[in-house]
Chains A and B, each alone.
Chain A
Amino acid sequence: MSAAGLTPVVVRLKLSLLRNGLRQSAGRRAAYITSVVVVLLIAALQLLGLIALRGNAHAATIAVLLVEVLALGWAVMPLFFPSGDETLDPTRLVMLPLRPQPLVRALLAASLVGIGPLFTLCLFTGAVISVAHGAAAYGVGVLAVVLALLVCVALARAVAAANIRLLTSRKGRDLAVLSGLVIAVGAQLVNFGAQRLGSAGLSPLDPVENVLRWVPPASSIGAVDSVSRGAYGLAVAQLALSAAALAGLLALWSRSLTTLMTSPDESTLQAADPGARERTSTGLSRLLPAGRTGTVMERSLRYIWRDPKTKAAWVTSLAIGLIVPVFNALQGTGSIYFACFAAGMLGIQMYNQFGQDTSAFWMVAMTISSRRDAHAELRGRALALLLITLPYATLVTVVTTALLGAWPKLPEVLGLSFALLGAMLATGAWSSARFPYSIPQEGYKNVVPGQAGLAWISIFGGMIAAALLTAPVIAVAIWLNVSSDGDRWTWLLLPAGVLYGALITLLGLRLAAPRTAGRLPEILTAVSKG
Chain B
Amino acid sequence: MPAVRVQGLWKRFGEQIAVAGIDLELPAGRFIGLVGPNGAGKTTTLSMVTGLLRPDQGTVEVVGHDVWRDPVEVKARIGVLPEGLRLFERLSGRELLAYTGRLRGLPGAEVDKRATQLLDVLDLAGAQHKLVVDYSTGMRKKIGLAAALLHNPEVLFLDEPFEGVDPVSAQTIRGVLERYTGSGATVVFSSHVMELVESLCDWVAVMAAGRIRAHGPLAEVRGSAPTLQQAFLELVGAHGRATTTDLDWLGGGTR
Contacts and interface: CB of A to CB of B under 8 A. Distances in A.
B52 A276 contact: no
Given A363-B88, A521-B54, A298 B99 contact: yes
B238 to A, nearest CB: 31
Interface in A506-530: 520-522, 524-525, 528
A521 B72 contact: no
Contacts of B108: 290
- Determine which residue in B99, B100, B104, B130 has the highest number of CB atoms from chain A within 10 A of its CB, and name it: B99
Interface stretch (B79-87, B205-213, B224-232): B79-87
- Determine which residue in B87, B88, B129, B136 has the highest number of CB atoms from chain A within 10 A of its CB, and name it: B88
Nearest to A364: B103
B53 A521 contact: yes
B158 to A, nearest CB: 14
Contacts of A487: none
Give the size range of B's interface with the partner.
35 or more
Interface string B3-40: 00000000000000000000000000000000000000
B90 A307 contact: yes
A291 interface: yes
Contacts of A291: 102, 105
B100 A369 contact: no
A299 B91 contact: yes
Contact of B147 (A271, A357, A363, A521): A363
Contacts of B130: 276, 279
Given A278-B129, A299-B91, A370-B72, A363 B100 contact: yes
B52 A360 contact: no
Contacts of B133: 170
A271 B89 CA distance: 19
Contacts of B88: 299, 303, 357, 360, 363
Nearest to B87: A360
A55 B99 CA distance: 68
B43 interface: no
A120 to B, nearest CB: 36
Interface string B81-119: 010111111111001001110111100100000000000
Given A279-B92, A302-B95, A366-B80, A292 B105 contact: yes
Contacts of A276: 127, 129-130, 134
A302 B80 contact: no
Contact of A522 (B54, B84, B126): B54
Contact of A367 (B92, B95, B104, B134): B104
Interface in B156-196: none
A407 B71 CA distance: 54
Contact of A362 (B52, B54, B71, B89): B52
Given A279-B92, A521-B51, A360 B126 contact: no
A306 B90 contact: yes
Nearest to B75: A369
Contacts of A290: 108
Nearest to A173: B133
A72 to B, nearest CB: 31
B76 interface: yes
Given A295-B102, A367-B103, A359 B86 contact: yes
A304 to B, nearest CB: 10
24 contacts: A270-B134, A274-B126, A276-B127, A279-B92, A291-B102, A292-B102, A295-B98, A295-B102, A295-B103, A299-B88, A299-B91, A299-B99, A306-B90, A360-B87, A363-B88, A363-B100, A366-B50, A369-B71, A369-B72, A369-B75, A370-B71, A520-B52, A524-B53, A525-B53
Interface of B: 50-54, 71-72, 74-76, 80, 82, 84-92, 95, 98-100, 102-105, 108, 126-127, 129-131, 133-134, 136, 147
- The 3 lowest CB-CB distance pairs between A and B, nearest first, are A369-B71, A306-B90, A279-B129
